[in-house]
Every structure is written in structure tokens, then in C-alpha cells.
Amino acid sequence: MSEAIIDPDLPIIDPHHHLWDLRPLMSAFPEPRHDFLEALVGAAYYTFDELHADTHSGHNVVGTVFMECGAFYDASRGESLKTVGEVEFVNGVAAQGASGLYGDYRPCAAIVGHADLTLGDAVKPVIEALVAAGNGRFRGIRHAAAWDADPEVLGPPFHAPEGLYNSDAFRAGFAAYSEYGLTFDAWLLEPQLGDVLALARAFPQQQIVLDHCGTPLNIASYRGKLHENFDRWRRSIHALAECPNVAVKLGGLAMAFCGLPEEGPMKGHGSEHLAAMWRPYIDTCIEAFGPDRGMFESNYPVDRWGASYAELWNAFKRLAQGASADEKHALFAGTAARIYGIEHVLPAA
């Protein structure tokens, strides 16, 4: 049964969603599929129409930020430049929204793409091509570093090498990238948070956004250990918050990796139940970073594993009930608008 929308007029910028067509790839993975891949079966095709339906399911989503996901690469450009195809594709979706045909809603108002920072200085022409393809909407890159010694934690298609953010090749590329004044989204797993902390300290002028509350794990060999590892995660979050160049995305907890909930996909947990499960992580992040460096995210369609889009945002609104009007504005829209340079999508005060 669908829930009534809480505070339906509150403006939201969703700072983290994907667009893709995974249908040609799904048959390549043997069954039984990893929980993460199984969660995507029902969302293997997620483009403008699906995004539009979700963002218009009752909440006041005024704009979104696209997050790279390996979609629609252009193989004709060669290995290093093929990622430009993703930004070209998403820029077309953004142009649909900017047409005004769908009202004031601005999907993909900011675009975060991908470039391989292990290229060192050779990443510069890639960044410049991405900027050009974004037509004023490109805001930065994500180069994920998720790795674990247990291969069952991530499964295919994730293949980041161990210690990527600490490697000489990556650091050389990161130094080159930092000259452009763009954002950097970091995705890695809770046991790896020391790697992004070291990166943030080494490049204090580079804006870094930590995805998914740092991805606490409740899968494979980590199943049932959320409570056991919570203090370690909390210490890492507070250490990262001491770096003024780091912000955090508040969400991603409904991924199969985090197992909050363990059952999926979308087993009908209401927003009150979801908020109770997520509260220790969300409250800790907001306490550490403050509303001006925290932003709620849908991580859709990946978080469809545990929550419908409408219930997910209801859960976030429950978690923010004690916040002031200014704090809510920051958490639901203002921080994302400032960091990703899309203040223009916010309604006039």
C-alpha cells in the first residue's frame, strides 16, 4: 500500500541516480547471480521515463544529478575516451528536461562522469572532452575504488584493485585532475575508508563527496556484523568530517551490499521501518558533517532493492523531522545545489 507523502512541497535535488540499459549484459552473469545483480534485474532498463515516473511519485523533486555507471560508452573513441559517450547520452536527457516540456523539473542538471585517473597526466584530454560533452552541465568524475578480500562481497562487475586511491598512478592522475576545479565522488567500502581519508588529506583543496554513507557492509562474510563494525565506521566518518573538503551523501543504505534491509528487492518495508534501520548511520553522518556538508540521495535504481522512491524520501523526511527549516533545505537540496553548481534549479525564495 502506498504511503501518504510527507511534506510534499519541500524542494528536493536528488544528487545521485543512474541511467542505463543493462539488459544486454545481464545474461553474461551466471546464476545464481550476486545479490547486487539480482537487485538490478527489475531495473535493468532505467532511463528518462523511469526516472521521470519515480521523481514525480509525490515528492517535489526539482532537479537531479546523474552519477556515472558505465552507461552507453562510445567504443569508437578508444579506451580512454569511450566514457565521453555516457556524458553525451545524459546531456541529451538533460536537454529533454531543460526544454520546459515537463515543467520546472530539471533532470540531470549536473552530470558526474568517469575518467581513469591511473592515466596520470594523460587524463587531461579526457577531462576536457568530458567538459565539452556536458555542454555546461559536467561537474566532475567518480572513480570507484570498492574492493574487498572476500570476492563474494562485491561480485562482478566490480574490479577495482586493492588500495587504488593510494597508488602512485592514481595519485598522479588525481593531481592532474585537481587542476580543473571539479568535484570528485568517492565510492569504496567501509573497511577502506582510511584510503579516502588519506586522499582528502593529501589534496585539501579538492572537493570530495563520499558516496553512500561510506557503504557499511552486511553481505557475504560481513553478514550480521553491522553492529560489530559500527564503531569502526563511526570513527572513520568523524575523521573524514575533520577534512573540510569532504561532503557525504546520505543514502545508499538500501543497497544489497549494506543489507538495510536484507530482504529484497523492495519487500514492502514502510518508511517508518526504513528510517529506524538507517537512523544510526544518517544521524552519525549529519552530526559529524553538519547539514551544509550532507545531502540525502536516492541512489536509484540501485536502492530499489529495499525501498520505493516515494518511501525512500519519506524515510529521509522522518529522519530530518527534528531539523530546522534551514537545515532541511540544506540536506534535501541546498548542499547538493552548491557542491554541484546547480543553484539555478532551486525555486526562488
Residue-wise DSSP of 107-118: EEEEEEE---GG
Weakest mean pLDDT among 42-46, 151-155, 311-315: 42-46
- Domain spans of the chain? 11-339
pTM: 0.96
| pLDDT in the model for residue 76 | 97
Nearest-angstrom CA–CA distance, 226 and 63: 33
Nearest-angstrom CA–CA distance, 238 and 119: 32
Q: Is the pLDDT of residue 1 over 60?
A: no
Helices 84-98 and 48-55 sit at what angle, rounded to 10 degrees?
50
3-state secondary structure of 137: coil
CA 232 from chain centre, in angstroms, equals 22
Q: Phi/psi at 10 (nearest 5 deg)?
A: -65, 120
What is the pLDDT averaged over residues 19-45? 74
State the Rg of the chain over Cα.
Answer: 19
Mean confidence (pLDDT) of the chain: 94
Burial status of residue 29 (CB atoms within 10 A of its CB: 0-12, 13-18, 19 or more): middle
| pLDDT in the model for residue 42 | 67
> How many Å from the N-terminal Cα to the C-terminal Cα in the chain?
35
3-state secondary structure of 138: strand
CATH 3.20.20.140 fits 11-339, yes or no: yes
Residue-wise DSSP of 192-261: GHHHHHHHHHH-TTS-EEE-GGG----SGGGTT-HHHHHHHHHHHHHHHHTSTTEEEEE--TTSTTTTSS
| pLDDT in the model for residue 68 | 98
3-state secondary structure of 9: coil
DSSP 154: H
Grid coordinates representing 23 are: 539488459
| pLDDT in the model for residue 24 | 77
**Tens-place pLDDT, residues 156-176:** 767 799 999 999 999 999 999
What is the pLDDT averaged over residues 78-102? 96
- Of the chain, the percentage scoring pLDDT greater than 90 comes to 85
What is the pLDDT averaged over residues 227-249? 98
Nearest-angstrom CA–CA distance, 283 and 155: 30
Per the listing, cell 562510445 goes with 74
DSSP 308: -
pLDDT bucket at 45, cuts 50 / 70 / 90: confident
Q: Is the pLDDT of residue 140 over 60?
A: yes
| HSE value, Cβ hemisphere, 13 Å, CA-based, for 73 | 15
3-state secondary structure 266-296: CCCCCHHHHHHHHHHHHHHHHHHHCHHHEEE
3-state secondary structure of 18: coil
pLDDT bucket at 28, cuts 50 / 70 / 90: low
Q: Is the pLDDT of residue 26 over 90?
A: no
Q: Is the pLDDT of residue 199 over 60?
A: yes
pLDDT bucket at 306, cuts 50 / 70 / 90: confident
